[in-house]
């Protein structure tokens, strides 16, 4: 019999990463950036110029090697791609629980 364990909504937390929330935030931001870049059908050299980074960083971004990017930098990429980024701070519905960070993309 196979035992199935239900995970959380954050795979990085399920894998035991101490910085799970940051990793998930970076991944979701990078996904949004990569989807926008894919739609533009640009070459990596063109992307590097547009985002103001060297070409090897474009490769890292496209392959989700995100350790060299901050959350802030990924948000800057989105604004360079003509998208707004909004940060909303609100009280937690259940005050006894710790707050969380989420990234929602509006298409």
- b/e code 57-83 from CB counts within 10 Å (16+ = b): bbebbeeeebeebeeebbbbbbeebee
DSSP state of 99: P
Q: For the ranges 18-27, 41-50, 96-105, which has the lowest average pLDDT?
A: 96-105
Contact 64, 28 (CB under 8 A): no
Supply the CATH classification number for the domain 13-80. Answer: 1.10.260.40
Give me the residue spans of the domains in the chain: 13-80
For residue range 27-86, list pLDDT tens digits in order.
999 999 999 999 999 999 999 999 999 999 999 999 999 999 999 999 999 999 999 998
Contact 66, 30 (CB under 8 A): yes
């Amino acid at each position: 019999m196979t035992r199935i364990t239900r995970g959380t909504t954050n795979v990085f937390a399920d894998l035991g990463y101490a910085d799970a929330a940051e990793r998930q935030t970076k991944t979701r931001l990078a996904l949004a950036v990569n989807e926008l870049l894919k739609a533009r059908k640009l070459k990596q050299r063109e992307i590097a110029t547009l985002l103001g980074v060297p070409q090897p960083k474009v490769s890292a971004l496209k392959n989700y090697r995100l350790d060299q990017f901050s959350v802030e930098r990924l948000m800057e990429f989105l604004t360079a791609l003509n998208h707004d980024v909004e940060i909303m701070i609100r009280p937690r519905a259940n005050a006894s629980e710790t707050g969380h960070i989420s990234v929602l993309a509006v298409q």
